[in-house]
Amino acid sequence: MGWLWTIILTQLILGFVLASIMTIIWKVTNPGKALFKEEE
């Protein structure tokens, strides 16, 4: 059962890293635009 948690944690970490990279790329390619609108 331990291998299942290893897979889940790996998927979560990879997903977080991928999201971070995508956000950085978005900010670089779209300066002045926010990926997530915080202000109206």
pLDDT digits (tens, 9 = 90+) for 1-36: 689 999 999 999 999 999 999 989 888 888 766 656
Tokens encoding 4: 């299942």
Please report the pLDDT score of residue 39 as a whole number.
58
What region, left, alpha or beta, does residue 33 occupy, with left being phi > 0 and alpha being psi -120 to 50 degrees?
A: beta
Please report the pLDDT score of residue 30 as a whole number.
80
Please report the pLDDT score of residue 17 as a whole number.
97
pTM of the model: 0.56
Please report the pLDDT score of residue 36 as a whole number.
62
As a whole number of angstroms, the distance between CA 22 and CA 9 comes to 20
DSSP string of 2-26?
HHHHHHHHHHHHHHHHHHHHHHHHH
Question: Do residues 17 and 10 make contact, with C-beta atoms less than 8 angstroms apart?
Answer: no
